[in-house]
């Protein structure tokens, strides 16, 4: 595929994914994160829960505005009465103005520390790890190891992955499911690949020891990629607009959560230390009512993240999740509040892509 075509595809995706920036200078600079694109407001929790989900957000998403919260909602609603379910985000600077490799170098060790700390504190919890887009690369680096050369020829320092057979922790038994969606480091033909993009490599496929390290987790891993996603297929579909990269959790949350419930009921292929005492089920046909077009046309990401999160346990089997109270700086509000797009900021990701290609 030519340079111009690839640049157009990826820049189209990036422009669709970027948030609307609030150019107004007002006293209401800090707002409560709204429900945008059907994303539920679910407080984070670091206390021990029966089911605990770690999320790695996509580029420029906020922790309380990330698309994967739709998946969290599907998982937690599927757990039976009496089973507690919570989530927390892996903390790293994912702003689109931050050098890509800097984000990765923050995300991988942060994710490992959070997982290891939780493993020590809550050894009986069942852990799910989920990453989207840039966050999928971070999760892959956490588990399989990271390093390499990426956008703008930035070089990520190598890091070792977590070995499921290690005697220093029991994460190999505690982690029962890992999902990657729209993975920048998607690898063609792996046994854990799902959807129509399975035969294709992403922008930065893993090779050698990095692929071997990730494959140690293959029994609990699914890597979801659609052929029309230019990120996980490296622009294979010339007609791709980036819309399908943005809509995984509108279309596939039920399917992904259903597979995770199956892994939970089975205790994980690695032989979870604590098997489920209850039968958990979810219909794999469950789909969000949100449409692809609404997802592609707007993003819930704000320009900056809040440095704090509200701690709370998510009640299971409740139709409406408790409203989150995490505040964010510069969060996108309603269309009536006079939003403007900063063209100078919008050009930064395009320049990064074109300089690489």
Residue 71, domain CATH: 3.40.50.1820
- pLDDT at residue number 336: 28
pLDDT tens track for 262-312: 999 887 554 433 333 333 443 333 333 333 333 333 333 333 333 333 333
What residue spans of 122-228 are helical by DSSP H? 134-144, 171-174, 208-215
- Distance in angstroms between the alpha carbons of the first and the last residue of the chain: 11
Domain count, the chain: 1
Give the dihedral of Cα atoms 144, 150, 156, 160; nearest 10 deg.
10
C-beta of residue 187 within 8 angstroms of C-beta of residue 221: no
- pLDDT at residue number 269: 53
Assigned token pair, 39: 């994303």
* Closest listed residue to residue 185, CA positions, set 237, 227, 150: 150
d(CA 243, CA 178): 24
pLDDT tens track for 106-164: 999 999 999 999 999 999 999 999 999 999 999 999 999 999 999 999 999 999 999 99
- pLDDT at residue number 268: 56
pLDDT tens track for 8-65: 445 444 433 433 223 233 333 222 233 445 788 899 999 999 999 999 999 999 999 9
pLDDT tens track for 169-193: 999 999 999 999 999 999 999 999 9
Whole-prediction pTM: 0.72
- pLDDT at residue number 345: 34
Domain extent at residue 28: 3-356
Assigned token pair, 194: 């799902």
């Amino acid at each position: 595929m030519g340079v111009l075509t690839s640049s157009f595809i990826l820049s189209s995706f990036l422009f669709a994914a970027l948030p609307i920036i609030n150019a107004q200078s007002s006293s209401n600079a800090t707002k409560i994160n709204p429900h945008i694109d059907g994303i539920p407001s679910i407080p984070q929790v670091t206390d021990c829960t029966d089911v605990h989900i770690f999320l790695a957000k996509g580029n420029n998403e906020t922790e309380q505005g990330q698309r994967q919260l739709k998946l969290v909602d599907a998982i937690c609603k599927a757990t039976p009465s009496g089973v507690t379910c919570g989530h927390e985000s892996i903390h790293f600077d994912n702003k689109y103005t931050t050098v890509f490799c800097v984000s990765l170098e923050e995300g991988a060790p942060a994710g490992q520390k959070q997982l290891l700390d939780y493993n020590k504190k809550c050894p009986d919890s069942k852990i799910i790890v989920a990453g989207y887009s840039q966050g999928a690369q971070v999760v892959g680096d956490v588990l399989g190891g990271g390093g390499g050369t990426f956008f703008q020829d930035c070089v990520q320092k190598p890091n070792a992955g977590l070995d499921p057979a290690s005697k220093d922790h029991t994460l190999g038994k505690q982690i029962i499911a890992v999902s990657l969606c729209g993975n920048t480091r998607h690898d063609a033909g792996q046994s854990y690949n799902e959807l129509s993009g399975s035969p294709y490599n992403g922008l930065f496929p893993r090779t050698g020891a990095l692929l071997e390290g990730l494959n140690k987790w293959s029994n609990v891993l699914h890597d979801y990629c659609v052929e029309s996603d230019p990120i996980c297929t490296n622009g294979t579909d010339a007609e791709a607009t980036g819309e399908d990269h943005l809509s995984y959790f509108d279309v596939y949350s039920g399917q992904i959560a259903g597979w995770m419930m199956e892994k939970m009921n089975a205790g994980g292929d690695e032989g979870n230390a604590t098997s489920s005492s209850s039968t958990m089920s979810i219909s794999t046909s469950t789909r969000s009512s949100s449409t692809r077009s609404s997802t592609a046309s707007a993003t819930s990401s704000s320009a900056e993240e809040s440095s704090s999160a509200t701690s709370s346990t998510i009640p299971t089997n409740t139709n409406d999740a408790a409203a989150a109270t995490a505040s964010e700086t510069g969060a996108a509000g309603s269309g009536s509040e006079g939003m403007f797009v900063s063209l100078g900021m919008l050009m930064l990701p395009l320049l990064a892509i074109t300089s690489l290609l």
